[in-house]
């Protein structure tokens, strides 16, 4: 690990002033410490956000929705009455983080901004794993890589546990930087980089995510379903988040977002369209799952993820509607 300066500011403004091209943000540290140890991140300055009180707390704003501070931990999210009541999808996503240690220190903002788990990236081959102008992924070990949005050059999958659910629920993130404050829909926060010099999210080197804003759920039914290789600490193979607006027994509006299958959380409009105007049944849930993966283009070793993604969507739909089969 390289030597670096450590800073622990007490305000968002002072934190922003400390950021720049050679600085990184420390939230819970569960991802950054691995990057530092592996030599993937080599900052000259680490800026800790732990002492900034404005980044903590969950606030129920009634008809104006809910504010979640970027430094809210996974445990705090799971224990919040308003989150448990209105946003079960977030609790289900948090429950998938099986490490008690990570739950106690890992943060919502850190989860949204964590780097890809791609082993090419983690072993120093760059975000796009390029060699001699060509990605190593399509002809390499791509068991856990993208099946959607993988036309190139990015083949990694977005690793966030909370992003699919938050996007399905219509969340925005508030970002503070030296140029001021801005709000962006979380759906547009993520992007597919075209070169190793680009970030995989819309965050300048002098900006931080300060909070997540959720609109009033207005009775919207929501759920997450993850498919894992094992119950112990591990990242899902695929995941699906679903938010349903119901008119009686009929779906009047729907959002379906897949996780761990594309370089960005993957919003499936076709899956949503397969649900709107219909009652939630095993047949309509299966149709939504089929629609969600109709454009999938698996690589040489990850075709199994197509079926898993279809199943994740199908079961998330049934779970959201309260019709999950044990």
69 and 55 Cβ atoms separated by less than 8 Å: yes
φ, ψ of residue 110 in degrees (nearest 5) = -65, -40
Element (H, E) at 69: strand 66-69
Residues 274-283 as b/e (b if ≥16 CB within 10 A, e otherwise) read bbeebebeee
Nearest to 138 by CA among 122, 126, 120: 120
Distance of CA 308 to CAs 97, 143, 313, Å? 19, 13, 9
Q: In which residue are the tokens 């009929």 written? A: 250
Residues 162-186 as b/e (b if ≥16 CB within 10 A, e otherwise) read bbbbbbbbbbbbbbbeeeeeeeeeb
β-strand pairing of 45-48 with 5-7: parallel
Q: DSSP for 258-287?
A: EESSSSS-EE-HHHHHTTTTSB--HHHHHH
Answering whether pTM is above 0.75, one says: yes
Rounded CA separation 99/234 (Å): 9
Residue 248 pLDDT? 95
Q: Which two tokens stand for residue 185?
A: 């829909």
Residue 300 pLDDT? 97
Distance of CA 266 to CAs 98, 241, 278, Å? 24, 10, 23
Residue 326 pLDDT? 64
Complete domains list, the chain, with CATH: 226-320 (3.30.390.50)
Q: What is the pLDDT of residues 21-78, one digit of tens each?
A: 999 999 999 999 999 999 999 999 999 999 999 999 999 999 999 999 999 999 999 9
166 and 214 Cβ atoms separated by less than 8 Å: yes
Residues 118-142 as b/e (b if ≥16 CB within 10 A, e otherwise) read bebbeeebbbbbbeeeebbbeebeb
Rounded CA separation 308/290 (Å): 11
C-alpha 123, offset from chain centre? 22
Distance of CA 137 to CAs 112, 119, 126, 149, Å? 24, 10, 12, 14
Residue 233 pLDDT? 73
pLDDT beneath 70: ranges in the chain:
326
C-alpha 117, offset from chain centre? 12
């Amino acid at each position: 690990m390289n030597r670096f300066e450590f800073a622990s500011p007490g305000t968002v403004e002072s934190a922003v002033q400390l950021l720049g091209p050679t600085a990184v943000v420390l939230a819970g540290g569960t991802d950054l410490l691995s990057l530092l140890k592996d030599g993937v991140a080599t900052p000259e300055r680490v800026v800790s956000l732990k002492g900034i009180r404005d980044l903590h707390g969950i606030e129920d704003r009634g008809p104006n929705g809910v504010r979640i501070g970027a430094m809210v931990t996974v445990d705090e999210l799971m224990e919040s009455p308003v989150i448990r009541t209105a946003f079960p999808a977030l609790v289900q996503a948090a429950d998938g983080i099986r490490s008690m240690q990570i739950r106690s220190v890992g943060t919502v903002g850190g989860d949204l901004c964590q780097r890809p788990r791609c082993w090419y990236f983690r072993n120093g081959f760059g975000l796009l794993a390029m060699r001699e102008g060509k990605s190593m992924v399509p002809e390499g070990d791509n068991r856990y890589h993208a099946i959607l949005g993988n036309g190139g050059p990015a083949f990694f999958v977005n690793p966030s546990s909370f992003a699919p659910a938050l996007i399905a629920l219509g969340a925005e993130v508030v970002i503070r930087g030296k140029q001021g404050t801005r709000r962006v829909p979380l759906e547009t926060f993520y992007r597919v980089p075209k070169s190793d010099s680009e970030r995989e999210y819309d965050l300048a080197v002098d900006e931080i995510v300060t909070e997540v804003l959720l609109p009033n759920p207005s009775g919207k039914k929501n759920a997450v379903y993850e498919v894992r290789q094992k119950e112990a600490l591990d990242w899902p193979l695929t995941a699906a988040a679903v938010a349903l607006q119901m008119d009686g027994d009929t779906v009047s509006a729907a959002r379906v977002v897949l996780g761990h299958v594309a370089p960005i959380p993957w919003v499936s409009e076709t899956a949503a369209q397969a649900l709107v105007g219909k009652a939630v049944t095993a047949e309509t849930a299966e149709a939504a799952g089929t629609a969600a993966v109709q454009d999938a283009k698996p690589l040489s070793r990850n075709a199994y993820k197509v079926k898993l993604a279809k199943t994740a969507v199908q079961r998330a739909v049934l779970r959201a509607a309260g019709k999950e089969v044990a």
